[in-house]
Amino acid sequence: TMEDKLIIAVLRRLKKWKSLRDTYLKERRKETEKMSGSAAGSGKKWKYSVVLSFLNPFISPRETSGNMERGDEENQATGYEHPEDQGETEDELFLLSLVPSLQRLPPQTKEFVKFQIHKLIYESSTVLLNLEQLEPQD
């Protein structure tokens, strides 16, 4: 059915997006490590680095484990902010990433896709509400 094809297409795009995002983060880490190392060479930049640079405000360094505590002053010194402090949420960025694909669709298909997205969200919300009502009350 059209709905199944749409779901498969969305899942493929999500997988592709995750792959691109993960590769960008890996390349960013390599770039950062090169800059801090003494043998920093002139490595070639990944071809999508510039296009995906909008992710930079949402990248936070990985937590490291150790026996030293990291203070707020040190966090401020790194220049990193937590993603929740930013203007756009992960959900907003995800939806914005769908815009180019949606714009390429013919008008009727575009309206159908929008309707299906609304339908999925509505059905998911309804299921959650029903589950919450089934939980035993204390």
Quote the CA–CA distance of 104 and 37 in Å, as a whole number.
44
Tokens of 125: 């919300």
Confidence tier at 40 by pLDDT (50, 70, 90): low
Longest dimension (CA), the chain: 64
Q: Is the pLDDT of residue 80 over 70?
A: no
Q: What is the pLDDT of residues 82-94, one digit of tens each?
A: 444 455 688 888 8
Lowest mean pLDDT among 38-42, 45-49, 116-120: 38-42
Q: Are 67 and 36 in contact (CB under 8 A)?
A: no
**pLDDT score for 73:** 47
Q: What is the pLDDT of residues 93-136, one digit of tens each?
A: 888 888 888 889 899 998 998 888 888 877 777 665 655 555 55
Quote the CA–CA distance of 31 and 52 in Å, as a whole number.
14
**pLDDT score for 66:** 59
